Homo-oligomer: A and B are copies of this chain.
Amino acid sequence: MMTFTPLLVLELASDTKKEAIAWLLSRMRDQQQNGGAELIVEQLGPGVSTQEKENLNIFLVGASRQRLLSGAEEIGFFKEFKDGSMRAFTCTNKYDFKDFKGDGDSFFSVAECQYIIKHELDTLRAKDETHVPGYTQAKLYPGKSLIRRLQSKGILIQMFPLHEKEELKRLSFSWYKKVKLSLQPLDDIRHYYGEGQALYFGFLQYFTFALVPFAVIGVPYYMFDWEGYDKHVVLAVFNLVWCTVILELWKQFSASLAYRWGTLSRKKAFEEPRPGFHGILGFNPVTGREEPLYPNTKRQLRIYFVSLPFVLLCLYLSFCVMMVYFQMESLVLSIHDEDPTFCSGVLLFIPSIIYAVVIEIMNFIYRYAAEFLTEWENHRLESSYQNHLVLKVLVFNFFNCFASLFFIAFIMQDMVLLRQRRRNKMMIHKVRKIRTLEDKELPLVEQVRLETYMSTYLGTFDDYLELFLLFGYVSLFSCVYPLAAVLVVLNNITEVYSDAFKMCHVFKRPFTDPAADIGVWQLAFETMSVIAVVTNCALIGMSPHVKAYFPDSETQLILWTVAVEHVLLAFKFILTFLIPDVPKHIQIKLARLEFESQEALKKKKMLEASELSKTIQ
């Protein structure tokens, strides 16, 4: 029935005007030299079940093999060369790449092909000052992304890549259906979902393994109630060194993965801007390509004079809410203490419930505002947009999760309450409503319709945030509650399976995200480990066992604590500085590529010079 392999689904609003559809299809099908995307597009026929609306505007998008190859060259995919190094793919010397066989079938994974098509659609830009045919309010100006404008006007409802039943079955088998505990099939995940997803699962697995020594050390502390000065210091120093080393080694591990997957060598500066990026059409000073330009100073001004004050204001508000909560709680407690009835017992829970609800609402509003602000900051690259968004949301979440714990630990100095509180917080698990993609075989039309109704995967943000907060619980107060790591390890193991299941059956297939690292999360985890040094030193300094060593002078105790903390921090920074971010053998490979590139540029200039002299002669 289909004459091509459909890769992407485009759903337009059911009342889209005919001329707009015709115009969009012609732009998508038009040849590249005419400014089109040169893709294959076909409308999806009506399904078997008749209760559906007839005029669903669903289109399937694909591309010829040749088009995919030239698209890959434009994007600059790095692939393994015959000599084992990673090189930018070019069509002309395609046979020099290791896995290129025959006409290049299966050289690029389906996920990569879908990414190529998405890239082509994203870079389909308006050429003149005009509007979408039939929609005079949908203005277009030179350089504006068509897809983006159609989306913002509600004409394009969604665009997503199709799942592949067979491959998904194989992946899910190796991923979570095997009974024995095994390593994550990172290469397979990357093959199906792309680098961003694979890095998340790689990090989840790495983090879980890295916590095992923590958990093992924590158990005797919990069981035998070890509380001596020396033992706590041992735990804190181990904590510090371990956190630093694992975070540094993760950088090396992720660099190895990213090199193998070809994303490490791709340079951000050479990438195309994200579709939402707008500005005056001009020429990129690095690549010389025509694209929108936006002055960096303007973006900086927006960040420092609007976004930053907004974030600080929200943190202040959040702090006020927390103070009101503590006052409410002490009020309720005093009422209950005066006259303990059932009613006043129930009343005890009221402040916590109100606080939780208020924080949840604030979180929701804040997240919306953060997305709006980050969009408004107009970042050129998807990765920098993501990093700024993540940073905003992260700071707010960190504050909401830990501010009350800090308050209890250091202002109220109530360790029993701290322990309770932490246990409660860690046990909160969101109940998720699950709609599954079943294993049974469906005709293409039905499968596409089913996937249209599946929920959209919103990226790894919430998953990383959960890991980050768990890391906070483990590292910040590890002296007070050494068993935390055990619970986090158990949680992570179930997390791996539930995340894998969600990815395979609950969500639409997401577009791949060619990430080279975990971005701003690395910074977040490192910052957390620095804060952890401070909190652990403070907690040890406050413990009664340590206080017993300095019976006469509290001043001496504090000075010693501060001195030890400074030494530990200095040691941590030196350690971070000494462990290289990229393993030596990959550094050499990258340098080799750079050297060859420079030599090639010299050669190219030479050729040009000799040709010029020939012309003159």
Contacts and interface: CB of A to CB of B under 8 A. Distances in A.
Interface of A: 87-88, 90, 92-93, 95-96, 267, 269-270, 285-287, 296, 534, 554-555, 558-559, 562, 566, 584, 588, 591-598, 600-606, 608-610
A602 B287 contact: no
In this complex, which of A90, A598, A609 has the most chain B Cβ atoms within 10 angstroms of its Cβ?
Answer: A598
Nearest to A553: B554
B600 A604 contact: yes
Contacts of A559: 558
B555 A592 contact: no
Contacts of A88: 598, 601-602
A602 B593 CA distance: 11
A597 B93 CA distance: 17
B592 A597 contact: no
In this complex, which of A270, A287, A596 has the most chain B Cβ atoms within 10 angstroms of its Cβ?
Answer: A596
15 contacts: A87-B601, A92-B609, A93-B605, A95-B609, A96-B609, A267-B594, A269-B595, A285-B592, A286-B591, A555-B555, A562-B562, A597-B598, A597-B601, A600-B601, A601-B601
Nearest to A562: B562
Contacts of A554: 554-555
Number of copies: 2
Contacts of A95: 609
A421 B593 CA distance: 56
Contacts of A96: 605, 609
Contacts of A90: 602, 605-606
Contacts of A598: 88, 267, 270, 597
A487 to B, nearest CB: 30
A606 B285 contact: no
B92 A610 contact: yes
A527 to B, nearest CB: 9
B286 A609 contact: no
Contact of A566 (B296, B534, B610): B534
Contacts of A605: 87, 90, 92-93, 96
Contacts of A562: 558, 562
Nearest to A285: B588
Given A267-B595, A566-B534, A595-B270, A604 B602 contact: no
Contacts of A596: 601
In this complex, which of A95, A555, A605 has the most chain B Cβ atoms within 10 angstroms of its Cβ?
Answer: A605
A548 to B, nearest CB: 17
A403 to B, nearest CB: 16
A204 B65 CA distance: 61
A588 B93 CA distance: 29
Contacts of A593: 601
9 nearest interchain CB pairs? A597-B597, A93-B609, A92-B606, A600-B600, A600-B601, A269-B591, A600-B604, A597-B601, A286-B591
Given A566-B534, A598-B88, A93 B608 contact: yes
A608 B83 CA distance: 15
Contacts of A534: 566
A580 to B, nearest CB: 10
A167 to B, nearest CB: 31
Nearest to A593: B601
Nearest to A523: B577
A286 B585 CA distance: 10
Contacts of A595: 267, 269-270, 286-287
Given A267-B598, A534-B566, A600-B603, 20 more contacts: A88-B602, A90-B606, A92-B605, A92-B606, A93-B606, A93-B608, A95-B609, A96-B605, A267-B591, A267-B594, A267-B595, A269-B588, A269-B591, A270-B595, A285-B592, A555-B555, A558-B559, A596-B601, A597-B601, A601-B601
Contacts of A584: 296
Contacts of A555: 554-555, 558
Nearest to A270: B595
A594 B594 contact: yes
A613 B355 CA distance: 73
Nearest to A588: B285
A260 to B, nearest CB: 18
Nearest to A585: B285
A468 B499 CA distance: 54
Nearest to A561: B562
Contacts of A93: 605-606, 608-609
